[in-house]
Chain A
Amino acid sequence: MSATNTEAPAARAPKAAATTPVSRMAALARAELTLLGRSKGALVAGLFVPLVLPVSVRSAAEEMDLAEAGLTIGTLVLPAAIGFSLLFAVYSTLVGVFVVRREELVLKRLRTGELRDTEILAGSAMPAAATGLLQCLLLTAGCAVLLDLSAPSAPHLAVLGLLLGLVMCAALAAATSGFTRTGESAQVTPMPLLLVSMIGSGMFVPLELLPDKVASVCELLPLTPVVTLVRGGWTGDLSAYEALGAVATAVAWTAVAVFAVRRWFRWEPRR
């Protein structure tokens, strides 16, 4: 260790290369991507599960009267697959990321630097969100080839649903991490949303096949608007009013999550 060549003043005078929000988030995201690749749990939950679960939806679909709901196997399985991807690759992976970084004091350390709080959250979330996006594209291609899915009638709705879903799931993950004490409990705290979404958001059973009263409650669940918009994007039978309602629901959940993050997100472990 040599203490003589510190050369501080010379290098200090002009701050040659000032960082920008984008460059800072990119540096953080790159590190997080490396970490994602090294985490076995995140790889299984994020890559394997969303690619396998749709198969079970498919077998369930064979016992349903899809025609009554105006659906095909493809328009049932694809929205479900995208839902699984958002839930596992994005939401539950990110709960773990935020909690583990907090417990390792990484978030605290990052806050001592130039990164703003939102940049830390966004930069950390980016690799998982990108993985989720990539998966959704792969699943779409897969469904098109394997399940004879035709081209979407209203692709903009599907894209909108997917993007809303990514942002909402990342925000919900940050909110959930505020109520998660350790990396181990991060395996458990995402469960309520996972279960509620799988049962109530039209992933296994389309809302059209549920009793009206139950369906109208299920419409308000966080992941329902995503599934609705993606499915509507393919079937094309979503009215403007219904589409607007779905968007409003997703935006409202995102707003709730952002509020919860501002209120309850923890940047360091409890003392």
Chain B
Amino acid sequence: MEANGHEHVIEVTDLRRVYGGGFEAVRGISFSVRRGEIFALLGTNGAGKTSTVELLEGLAAPAGGRVRVLGHDPYTDRAAVRPRTGVMLQEGGFPSELTVAETARMWAGCVSGARPPAEVLALVGLESKGDVRVKQLSGGQRRRLDLALALLGDPEVLFLDEPTTGLDAEGRRDTWELVSALRAAGTTVLLTTHYLEEAEQLADRLAIMHDGRIAATGTPAEVTATQPSRITFELPEGYFVGDLPPLAELGVTGHETDGRIIRLRTRELQRAATGLLVWAERTGVELRRLDVRSASLEEAFLGIAKAVSGGKTAQTTKEYAA
């Protein structure tokens, strides 16, 4: 359990999930989450995030591999795990004809050491909605109700499956603040999201899933560091890639052309950009639509999706090594 002085609250080893029809949604993934950490599973729709989280929540038995939450198997040892976890499913799951207060009261009756329902409703800003039926709530309000109920028992481990989908920008920021405060109080959080900004803002560590596998994992900085920075611009008529100064000498590791658009990849952004701009100044060329950006999680994310889906874009984009 102990590694680097930290207790691993969630341990996943070689986990696999296969659905009835034979579809393999999770194809052998491993990761662990330390106590007090926010871990994000990032991926496009269908990457296997929810399928994975459901196994961690103990809603289904894995087809292979092992899950341990707080040292127990969450599927076979429900009674030991459930009083210590809080779960927010991807979609509600509350009777539409109950009011918010009735829903919270029902759930509080099923949670050991539950806080007063009104207190958690206030935490997510639903204190004035107690008498409203669940069916009359907006999508964002339903998400916040779900979050409130996940927090009722002050869980040690919190599973949040797309906690901010359907929220407006303000609601999303409020949720981020709340989750950050929970971490500060020592709660371990595993969340899934397809918002890169959310993972960047919240996650101590993350894993990018694609096609049921983990394509990259680490801190946001580590995952980002695996990606090159990019410079994109449009060359005017009459100029070609060959007219640029030798790219390798500028620290450019690769380039693509797409009509008149040139994309350069580099791990030395300042040197490459300076070299390019100095050349443009000297030759009097205007680099239209110039875009210089350092590697971001988005680049990493798109890079992974592209690397795996292969040459689908090859017809429109010619790619060369510099």
Which residues of the other chain, B, contact A116 by a CB distance below 8 angstroms?
A: 78-79
Chain B residues with Cβ under 8 A from A113's Cβ?
Answer: 82, 87, 107, 110-111
Query: Is B110 a contact partner of A28 (Cβ separation < 8 A)?
Result: yes
Residues on B with beta carbons closer than 8 Å to the beta carbon of A30: 105-106, 109
How many Å lie between the Cα of A2 and that of B151 in the bound state?
14
* B97 in contact with A114 (CB, 8 Å): no
Query: What separation, in Å, do the CA atoms of A6 and B185 have in the docked complex?
Result: 7
Q: Does B165 make an interface contact (CB < 8 A)?
A: no
Question: Which of B4-12, B120-128, B257-265, B275-283 lines the interface with chain A?
Answer: B120-128
B154 lies within 8 A of A12 (CB): yes
Number of interface residues of B (CB under 8 A): 49
Provide the A12-36 mask, 1 if CB < 8 A to any CB of B, else 0. 1011111100011011101100110
B306 at the interface (CB under 8 A from A): no
A148 sits at the interface (CB 8 A): no
A106 lies within 8 A of B19 (CB): no
**Across the two chains, which residue of chain A brings its CB closest to B108?**
A27
**Known interface pairs A17-B112, A113-B111. Does A35 touch B91 (Cβ–Cβ under 8 Å)?**
no
Does B181 count as interface, using CB distance less than 8 angstroms? yes
Contact A11 B78 (CB under 8 A): no
Chain A residue numbers with a CB within 8 Å of B124 are 1
Give the contact stretch, choosing among B64-72, B172-180, B228-236, B245-253. B172-180
CB-defined contacts of A28 to chain B, threshold 8 Å: 106, 109-110
Q: A105-B92, A113-B82 are in contact. Are A1 and B178 (CB under 8 A)?
A: yes
Which residue of chain A is the closest to B114 with respect to CB atoms? A17
Shortest CB-to-CB span from A83 to chain B, Å, is 29
A146 beta carbon closer than 8 Å to chain B: no
Asked whether any CB of chain A lies closer than 8 Å to the CB of B83, the reply is: yes
Q: Is B156 part of the binding interface, using a Cβ–Cβ cutoff of 8 Å?
A: yes
CB under 8 Å from chain B, chain A span 92-144: 101, 104-106, 108-116
Instruction: Select from chain A the residue with minimum beta-carbon distance to B112.
Output: A18
Q: Which chain B residues (24-48) contact chain A, with CB distance < 8 Å?
A: none
CA gap between A26 and B105 in the complex, in Å: 11
Q: Is the CB of A112 within 8 A of B115?
A: no
Q: How long is the Cα–Cα vector from A18 to B103 in the complex, in angstroms?
A: 19
Q: Which of A39-69 contact B (CB under 8 A)?
A: 39
Cβ–Cβ contact B109 & A19, under 8 A: yes
Residues of A within 8 A of B103 (CB): 31
Whether A38 contacts B97 by the Cβ 8 Å rule is yes
Task: Kindly name the residue among A4, A38, A39, A104 whose own CB sees the greatest number of chain B CB atoms within 10 A.
Answer: A104
The answer to whether B154 touches A11, judged by C-beta atoms less than 8 angstroms apart, is yes
A3 touches B89 (CB 8 A): no
Within A198-250, which residues are at the interface with B (CB < 8 Å)? none
Q: Which residues of B contact A114 (CB under 8 A)?
A: 79, 82-83, 110-112
Contact of A12 among B95, B156, B181 (CB under 8 A): B156
Tell which of A19, A31, A111 touches B106, judged by Cβ atoms closer than 8 Å. A31
CB-based contact B109/A26 at 8 Å: yes
Q: Is the CB of B113 within 8 A of A104?
A: no
Q: Give min CB distance, A106 to chain B, whole Å.
A: 5
Q: In this assembly, does A192 line the interface, its C-beta being within 8 Å of a C-beta of chain B?
A: no
Say yes or no: A27-B109 contact (C-beta < 8 A), given A3-B181, A17-B114.
Answer: yes
Interface-centre pick from A17, A38, A112 (highest chain B CB count, 10 A): A112
Check A111 against B154 for contact (C-beta < 8 Å).
Answer: no
Q: Is A9 an interface residue (CB 8 A)?
A: yes
A38 and B107 CA atoms in complex are apart in Å by 19
In the complex, how many angstroms separate the beta carbon of B168 from the nearest chain A beta carbon? Answer: 13
| A residues in contact with B83, CB < 8 Å | 15, 18-19, 114
CA distance A114 to B113 in the complex (A): 12
- Shortest Cβ gap from B219 to chain A (Å): 23
Within residues 150 to 201 of chain B, which ones have a CB less than 8 A from any CB in chain A?
A: 151, 154, 156, 174, 177-178, 180-182, 185-187
Given contacts A1-B178, A39-B97, A112-B58, 14 further A-B contacts (CB under 8 A): A5-B123, A8-B187, A12-B113, A17-B113, A30-B109, A34-B102, A35-B98, A101-B95, A108-B59, A110-B93, A112-B57, A112-B59, A113-B110, A114-B112
